[in-house]
Amino acid sequence: MSNSVSEVITCKAAVCWGIEEPAVKVEEIQVDPPKSSEVRVKILYASICHSDLLSIKGFPIPLFPRVIGHEGVGVVESVGEEVRDIKEGDVVIPTYIGECQECENCLSGKTNLCLKYPLPTSGLMPDDTSRMSVKGQRLYHVCSCSTWSEYMVVDANYVVKIDPSVALPHASFLSCGFSTGFGAAWKEAKLEKGSTVAVLGLGAVGLGAIEGARIQGASKIIGIDKNERKRIKGKAFGMTDFVNPDEYDKSISELIKEITNGMGVDYCFECTGVAPLINQALMATKMEIQLDELLSHEVSLEDIDKAFELLKQPDCVKVLIKL
């Protein structure tokens, strides 16, 4: 255990005071020592994710004041007495979700949604307390951590050691977005060598999906984005074709099928979060879902009462309400 483990550290952090306040304000805060299962990390670099903008707006829970930031990289400054796999001096990045490596989900090999160390949303440590304060007032964390601070305390199960030879200014990008896209192509889809792939939206998540598809041996990787500058970024990660949908009068799915000789792609990753594009992603694949066969009845909004009666009929599958 470090001699500094009992010391409170005063440092600078970006504090969000509330939804109506300026986004963040740099304040001097106090960071407590780590408790038994925790580590205190000196943050070297942090990065910004769109989720941070949601946190500033109070999503998922409006808890203020809070220190924003969930992407970062740093060096472990001190450790609690029960921490075994992390030591002082280790270079680490924070993670959304821990892994106990013992629960049903961790042992399944199909998901990393650990039952013991799930995604924290309370803004507090697992024991429902905070390790940060400002002007005598408790500060809330973001998820499991708060990286927009010179120091942070996090449960040791929510950090991962990385190779210290990695370019540290870029290592924080692995904490969230890029790894999400990369894992979708590599770990979740497990796409096969020679597969055809389309990626909608070439931000950090989309570029991660392109890289994952490239490493898996995809033969064609189509990137779709309205920003022409993303063409160069996509090519750098392995994209073979680029489509700017604003340059055409056709739908994205039609454009993808044109590139694939009318076939569509084997896998399509929707990385924008724009709801209508989910349908375009489905229509761009070789998979055909006969949604029209689900329709058995139609009613108008004025006849909504009839819909409930139709549901009782044995031949009813889905009732369409026309507004």
Delimiting residues of CATH 3.90.180.10 domain(s) in the chain? 3-175
- Residue found under tokens 């489509």: 243
Strand partners, 26: 14
The CA distance from 100 to 117, in Å, is 7
- For the structural domain made of 178-283, what CATH number should be given? 3.40.50.720
Delimiting residues of CATH 3.40.50.720 domain(s) in the chain? 178-283
Beta-carbon contacts of 102 under 8 Å, excluding residues fewer than 6 positions away, are 116
- Residue 249 is predicted with a pLDDT of 96
Residues of the chain with pLDDT under 50: 1-3
The SS3 of residue 70 is: coil
The answer to whether residues 36 and 176 touch, using CB atoms and an 8 Å cutoff, is no
- Residue 288 is predicted with a pLDDT of 67
Dump strand ranges (E) for 32-70. Answer: 38-47, 66-67
DSSP string, 133-195: EETTEE-B-BTTB--SBSEEEEEGGGEEE--TTS-HHHHGGGGTHHHHHHHIIIIIS-PPTT-
Q: CA of 263: how far to CAs of 254, 255, 268, 288, in Å?
A: 10, 11, 13, 11
Q: CA of 39: how far to CAs of 4, 78, 238, in Å?
A: 12, 6, 37
- Residue 1 is predicted with a pLDDT of 42
Residue 222, class by beta-carbon neighbours within 10 Å (0-12 exposed, 13-18 middle, 19+ buried)?
buried
Homologous superfamily in CATH for domain 3-175: Medium-chain alcohol dehydrogenases, catalytic domain (3.90.180.10)
- Residue 3 is predicted with a pLDDT of 46
